Amino acid sequence: MTPNMDESYAAVDLGSNSFHMIVANLVDGRLQIIDRMKEMVRLASGLNDKHELSKESMQQALECLQRFGQRIREIPHLNVRAVGTNTLRQARNGTDFLSRALIALGHPIEIIAGREEARLIYSGVAHSLYDEVNKRLVIDIGGGSTELIIGRGFDTYYTESLYMGCVNVGQRFFEDGKIKAKKMRKAILFAMQELESIETTYKKMGWDQALGSSGTILSIRDVVQAQGWCDAGITSSALTRLMETLIAMGDSESISFAGLPERRKPVFASGVAILCGVFEALNLDRINVSEGALREGLLYDLIGRAHNEDIRDKTILDVSQRYNIDMEQANKVKETAELFFHQVTVDWELDERMDLKLLLWGALIHEMGLSVAHNQYHRHGAYLIANSDLAGFSRQEQIKLAMLVRSHRRKFPLEEFESITQSRRVSIIRLCVLLRLAVVLHRSRSNSSLPEMQISVNKNKINLNFPSGWLDQHPLTLVDLNTEQSFLENADIRLTFN
């Protein structure tokens, strides 16, 4: 990595309980945190039984994002990344919120899957407390989910995201604010039940050290140490004593601990219950605490993307190996697609960074569906991409990549592009066309090189120019292009060639 001097970056984490933003400068390869902002929005509490966000919760969230947006207005657009987690994964009206959030923050919000959230959390912890020797268990209790990761150094072995957080567990077991022994035990058993599916696997893998991260665990750490119940981290005995003290207090409004923020009190008992469940299920005696979490991981991921250390490139390579993709063929398609891309970038207003990467990834894995069946393999590939855990990719990116693979052959499914936002739809369709043409020209899987070709475009009109006589000498390619011409014509795209 050879970073420029004094580059500014910002990462925004739209959690289910709190929104966080971290701003940093990268100077001589070293990250210097220059600002942090946090607001307890408690977005998950605005999610009703129909999994719809209330107008009030959305408004509060948007006002917070406006304040964040003002702070990062001067930072280059490509140096900012914002992600949404569990609540926005669930929200049925999330699309409406995301379009308004884009305006408020000035940057798009990416929705990340639970395991991607876990990976980023581990990255944040690993960068904050690097240890290449010990195997570590990282626990992060958020507002809507709890992530548990086992890893060493910067590498993860297991990543898991469970649907239990201090907000949703609080709504389920402590909705009236009363903290009773029976309620506390039911909440702990609920957490243990959620952990049941991973408990044996995690114990078999084992760990040398356990670490906690994020607001819930940091707050618990601050309380038990302020009370003098333990000197470092959080011990099992201190956690038990905290739980018993909460039960004695009996009500969230009666919670009184030095240093515990007022807005943390309504979800404090549920966070303690979840951590008690984790301690009990995994037989923990003590955990230490890391200041690093999702936003720090997001920041390092963003810096990696900016300096050609993109985890998504490795993910695509892993996918190609897992599904036994013919890489010789994939690379031929990739090279031709890239050649076409550079010729049409200006006329089609494509992005040299984001769009090119997406096109090249699509070219490399466009045949992954062959591992399922040859018939309709473009559909199989699209399904695998859309529904897999792909490290580094947001949900929106996976949908776009899936559409490239889905659309690379046969009928052009113009109607299916409705799932992509209007602002990005035209460029994704154009990337699909470039991939389709590259695939058609390499359909014979021949070892012979293609001739020098020129491609020109004018909106929905495309012309391919071959050397004189080349198409006459390759009649099968001519037939393939005629067929492709018909497919594109049905999507109101006119292809000509000579």
Tokens of 353: 């960074």
Domain end marker among 302, 330, 352: 302
Do the beta carbons of residue 361 and residue 312 sit within 8 Å?
yes
For residue 411, the number of C-alpha atoms closer than 13 Å in the C-beta half-sphere is: 7
186 with 269, same domain? yes
Within a domain: residue 269? yes
Convert the chain into a string of H (helix), E (strand) and C (coil): CCCCCCEEEEEEEECCCCEEEEEEEEECCEEEEEEEEEECCCHHHHECCCCCECHHHHHHHHHHHHHHHHHCCCCCHHHEEEEECHHHHHCCCHHHHHHHHHHHHCCCEEECCHHHHHHHHHHHHHHHCCCCCCEEEEEEECCCCEEEEEEECCEEEEEEEECCCHHHHHHHHCCCCECCHHHHHHHHHHHHHHHHHHHHHHHHHCCCEEEEEHHHHHHHHHHHHHCCCCCCCEEHHHHHHHHHHHHHHCEHHHCCCCCCCHHHHHHHHHHHHHHHHHHHHCCCCEEEECCCCHHHHHHHHHHHHHCCCCHHHHHHHHHHHHCCCCHHHHHHHHHHHHHHHHHHCCCCCCCCCHHHHHHHHHHHHCCHHHHCCCCCHHHHHHHHHHHCCCCCCCHHHHHHHHHHHHCCCCCCCHHHHHHCCHHHHHHHHHHHHHHHHHHHHCCCCCCCCCCCCEEEEECCEEEEECCCCHHHHCHHHHHHHHHHHHHHHCCCCEEEEC
Check the CA dihedral 306-308-310-316 and report its sign. Answer: positive
- Neighbour tally for 33: CB within 10 Å: 11
Domain that holds residue 92: 7-112+297-302
| CATH number, domain containing residue 36 | 3.30.420.40
The neighbouring-strand residues paired with 158 are 150
Which residues of the chain fall below pLDDT 50? Answer: 1-5
What are the tokens at 44? 């998950």
Q: Which residues pair with 495 in a beta bridge?
A: 462
Same domain, 46 and 189: no
Residue 395 sits in a domain of what CATH number? 1.10.3210.10
Q: Which residues contact 203 (CB under 8 A, 6 or more apart)?
A: 282, 283
* Residue 490 counted as domain residue: no
CA separation, residue 452 to residues 74, 186, 336, 464, 466 (Å): 43, 70, 10, 11, 7
Report the distance separating Cα 312 and Cα 21, nearest Å: 23
Does residue 277 share a domain with residue 185?
A: yes
Same domain flag for 155 and 253: yes
Per-residue pLDDT tens for 6-16?
Answer: 689 999 999 99
Contact call for residues 248 and 184 (beta carbons, < 8 A): no
Q: State which of 226, 258, 289 marks the end of a domain.
A: 289
- Burial of residue 39 (CB within 10 Å: 0-12, 13-18, 19+) is middle
Domain boundary, last residue among 447, 469, 490 = 447
The neighbouring-strand residues paired with 287 are: 234
Give the model confidence (pLDDT) of 100-111 as tens digits. Answer: 999 999 999 999
Q: What are phi and psi of 360, to 5 degrees?
A: -70, -40
The answer to whether residue 452 is domain-embedded is: no
> Total structural domains in the chain?
3
Q: Is residue 458 part of a domain?
A: no
Neighbours of 99 (CB within 10 A): 14
Question: Is the distance from CB of 408 to CB of 484 less than 8 angstroms?
Answer: no
Q: Within this chain, do residues 277 and 364 fall inside the same structural domain, yes or no?
A: no
Whether 316 and 404 map to the same domain: the answer is: yes
Which residues pair with residue 31 across a beta bridge? 26
Q: In whole angstroms, give the CA distance from residue 456 to residue 295.
A: 43
- Say if residue 144 is in the same domain as residue 81: no
| Residue 482 in domain | no
Longest dimension (CA), the chain: 89
Do 241 and 335 fall within a single domain?
no
Instruction: Check whether residue 336 and residue 388 sit in a common domain.
Output: yes
**CA 262, 85, 92, 82 torsion-angle sign:** positive
Q: Is residue 282 part of a domain?
A: yes
- In a domain, residue 424? The reply is yes
Same domain as 285, residue 203: yes
Inside any domain, residue 369: yes
Do residues 262 and 390 both lie within one domain? no
Q: Are residues 76 and 16 in the same domain?
A: yes
